[in-house]
């Protein structure tokens, strides 16, 4: 089936309207009419090949929400009309130790990303959610229980939500924890909302003075402008956990020195250029940890969606037509978004 999409033909070319092919649904497949797709910084890194290895044409988008429009003969859990989501994963081997534990994102044989991943479908790599329709194996389709009116604001949960939820759960954040969230963008604003909902004391770290008020409204108990050395010093040795979502290279030492003994800073941002090597002394004298975390598995993504539906949590979004995607990328690089762009996929028909 031919479907309209928005994609890039090269790293230095703007995204444009293109026609792509979607496979006819196989027995295990769910076909989804996409209503909205969130715009992740990873989309930008990939479209512009900042990480290298981008295959073109590149159709980004892994924060997908929409409605089931067809199901394969062996699909029982979904029916036409259901409201569903697709995140960063559309395939994994299903038989390694990681897949057995529901950690498909760490599949030992390599997961299939929603875009730029290997597939038998044309053109040989997966094409993402900046498109009218997608066909996905039922194991990678999520159920959405939020109200229909919240649907656009649910889209970012599929990546920004799970990428922050998973480490907060893994490191057992809850009442009594002092948690820092660094970088109040798409991921960071979800990190603040989720850590607050889990009962932690949340401190938002931002480079943008104009986000001070807004970060409190998101659920932060305190806000620190990280360029201000005195404000930083006031929190030395005090954090159990810091979630660092910054999408650019920066000194990690300023944040590791805020951790308590045995505290952990988890990096989820993947900047184009590496961070300067962190100070070893800063780590060893208080047995502090620096760790990483990649999105979340399918079961945990469903758990996060249900947690957010129960608590009334959605993303704060700015809706755009697909035609404004390059402008949105440029604003994202400048940190000028509160807090996630979401594409109205109806605009693709124009």
Extract long-range pairs of 11-18: CB within 8 Å, 24+ residues apart: 11/47, 11/48, 11/49, 11/54, 12/48, 14/326, 15/47, 15/130, 15/322, 15/325, 15/326, 17/322, 17/348, 18/57, 18/59
Structure tokens at 28: 């295990």
Interface region with ligand NAP, contact rule CB under 6 A, candidates 12-20, 135-143, 180-188, 195-203: 180-188
Burial 270-309, CB ≥16 within 10 A → b, else e: ebeeebeebeeebbeebebebeebebbbbebbbbbbebbb
Does 159 sit near Zn ion (CB under 5 A)?
A: yes
Task: Work out how close the CB of 40 gets to ligand NAP at its nearest, in angstroms, rounded to a whole number.
Answer: 5
Does 219 sit near ligand NAP (CB under 6 A)?
A: no
Q: Which helix (H) or strand (E) holds 8?
A: none
- Binding to ligand NAP (CB under 6 A): which residues in 198-217? 206-208, 211
**Smaller CB separation from ligand NAP, 188 or 297:** 188
Does 328 sit near Zn ion (CB under 5 A)?
A: no
9-48 mask for Zn ion (x: CB under 5 A)? -------------------------------x-x------
**Among 93, 248, 254, 319, which residue sits at the site for ligand NAP (rule: CB under 6 A)?**
248
Start-to-end C-alpha separation, the chain: 18
**Among 83, 92, 163, 257, which residue sits at the site for ligand NAP (rule: CB under 6 A)?**
163
DSSP 274: P
Does 193 sit near ligand NAP (CB under 6 A)?
A: no
Does 295 sit near ligand NAP (CB under 6 A)?
A: yes
**Smaller CB separation from Zn ion, 44 or 258:** 44
Does 294 sit near ligand NAP (CB under 6 A)?
A: yes
């Amino acid at each position: 089936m031919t479907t309209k999409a928005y994609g890039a033909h090269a790293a230095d070319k703007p995204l444009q309207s293109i026609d792509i092919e979607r496979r006819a649904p196989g027995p295990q497949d769910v076909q989804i009419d996409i209503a909205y797709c969130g715009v992740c910084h990873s989309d930008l890194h990939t479209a512009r090949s900042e990480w290298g290895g981008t295959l073109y044409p590149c159709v980004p988008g892994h924060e997908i929400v929409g409605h089931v429009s067809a199901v394969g003969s062996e699909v029982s859990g979904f029916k036409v009309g259901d409201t569903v989501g697709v995140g960063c994963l559309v395939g994994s081997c299903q038989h390694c130790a990681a897949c057995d534990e529901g950690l498909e994102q760490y599949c030992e044989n390599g997961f299939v990303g929603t875009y730029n991943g290997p597939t038998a479908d044309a053109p040989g790599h997966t094409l993402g959610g900046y498109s009218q329709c997608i066909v996905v194996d039922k194991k990678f389709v999520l159920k959405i229980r939020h109200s229909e009116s919240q649907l656009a604001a649910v889209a970012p949960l599929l990546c920004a939500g799970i990428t922050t939820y998973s480490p907060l759960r893994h490191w057992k954040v809850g009442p009594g924890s002092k948690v820092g969230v660094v970088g109040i963008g798409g991921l960071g604003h979800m990190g603040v909302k989720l850590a607050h909902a889990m009962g932690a004391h949340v401190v938002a770290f931002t480079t943008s003075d104009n986000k001070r008020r807004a970060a409190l409204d998101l659920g932060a108990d305190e806000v620190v402008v990280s360029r201000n050395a005195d404000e930083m010093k006031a929190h030395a040795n005090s954090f159990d956990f810091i979630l660092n979502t910054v999408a650019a290279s920066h000194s990690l030492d300023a944040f590791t020195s805020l951790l308590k003994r045995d505290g952990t800073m988890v990096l989820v941002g993947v900047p184009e250029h590496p961070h300067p090597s962190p100070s070893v002394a800063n780590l060893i004298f208080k047995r502090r940890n620096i760790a990483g975390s990649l999105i979340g598995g399918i079961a945990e993504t469903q758990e996060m969606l249900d947690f957010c539906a129960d608590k009334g949590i959605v993303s704060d979004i700015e809706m755009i037509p697909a035609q404004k995607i390059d402008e949105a990328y440029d604003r994202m690089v400048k940190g000028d978004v509160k807090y996630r762009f979401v594409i109205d996929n109806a605009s693709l028909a124009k």
